Amino acid sequence: MNIVLLGPPGAGKGTLAGLLKDGRDLLHISTGDLLREEMQQQTELGLEAKSYVEKGELVPDDLVTKLLANKLKAAPEKTGYLLDGYPRTRAQAESLDTLLNQIGRPLGAALYLDADLDLIIRRITGRRVAPKSGRVYHITNRPPKREGYCDESGEPLIQRPDDNEETVRKRMKVYLENTLPIVQYYEDKGILTKMNGAKDSEDLEKELIEFFDEQAKLN
C-alpha cells in the first residue's frame, strides 16, 4: 500500500503514520524530518532550507523534491511508502506523479486529516520531541513518565524552534494557501479518504480499520 498523508500541521499526521505502520511493511518518509536531518548535519541543502523552516515558510519545491526522490528511489521495492508532509504544493503533487510513474510505484490512497486552528495551536505549542528516537510527546495530552525526558531513549526532550504560536499561525496560513487546494487534486483522482484529526488515537485507529476494510473491498 502506497499512501500520502495530507492535513494541516498538528492535525495528527505523525500519530496516524505510527498507527498505519504498526504491523505493516511501510516506509514512513517525512520531508520535515529529512529537512531537519540535513539542517542538523549542516549540509548545503540543510543550510539553504534552514531560514525557510524557521520562519514557517515552504522550502523551494526543487530542494524538497530532490530529497524525497533520493529517499523513494532507495526504498526496497516491495515496501509500501507513507509520505508525510509531501506534497505541499500543486507543483509537488505533479512532480510526485511523474516520479512515481518513473519508478513504477503508484499511489493507492491519500488520507486527509483535518483539525481546526485552536486545536492545532494547543497541540503544537505543547508538543515536545526526542530528536534521536523521533518520539513525540505533549506536555498535557501525552506527557513522558519523567518530565522533560524521552521514555525510550532517556534523551532530553526539545521544543522544535518552529513550534511557537507565531510560527504555527504562519504555517497554517501557508497550508491554507498552498496545500489545502491539493486535497481536491486527490479527490478528483478518486483516492481521497477524509479523517477527523480531533479524534484521539483509539478512535483514529477505528477509522483506520474501516479504511483498510474499504480498501480490501476495492482490491
Residues 6+ apart with CB under 8 A from 6: 13, 110, 111, 112, 113, 179, 182, 183, 186
Q: Is 124 in the site for ligand AMP (CB under 6 A)?
A: no
H or E element at residue 145: none
Give the residue carrying C-alpha cell 509500501.
80
Rounded-to-integer distance, Cα 54 and Cα 123, Å? 18
Q: Which one of 28-36, 106-114, 134-142, 193-201 is the stretch in contact with ligand AMP (CB under 6 A)?
A: 28-36
* 171 catalytically annotated: yes
Q: Which one of 56-64, 109-117, 151-159, 195-203 is the stretch in contact with ligand AMP (CB under 6 A)?
A: 56-64
Identified binder of ligand AMP from the candidate list 6, 16, 53, 82, rule CB under 6 A: 53
Q: Is 58 in the site for ligand AMP (CB under 6 A)?
A: yes
Torsion of CA 113, 140, 154, 56, to 10 degrees: 50
Q: Is 179 in the site for ligand AMP (CB under 6 A)?
A: no
Strands 127-129 and 136-138: antiparallel
Residues 194, 34, 49: CA angle, nearest 5 degrees: 105
Q: Which one of 53-61, 110-118, 138-146, 202-210 is the stretch in contact with ligand AMP (CB under 6 A)?
A: 53-61
Kindly determine how many residues on this chain lie close enough to bind ligand AMP according to the rule CB under 6 A.
Answer: 17
Q: Is 86 in the site for ligand AMP (CB under 6 A)?
A: yes
* 142 catalytically annotated: no
* 90 catalytically annotated: no
Strands 127-129 and 26-30: unpaired
Contact set with ligand AMP (CB under 6 A): 9, 31-32, 35, 52-53, 56-59, 64, 85-86, 88, 92, 162, 171
Catalytic residues: 13, 88, 127, 160, 171
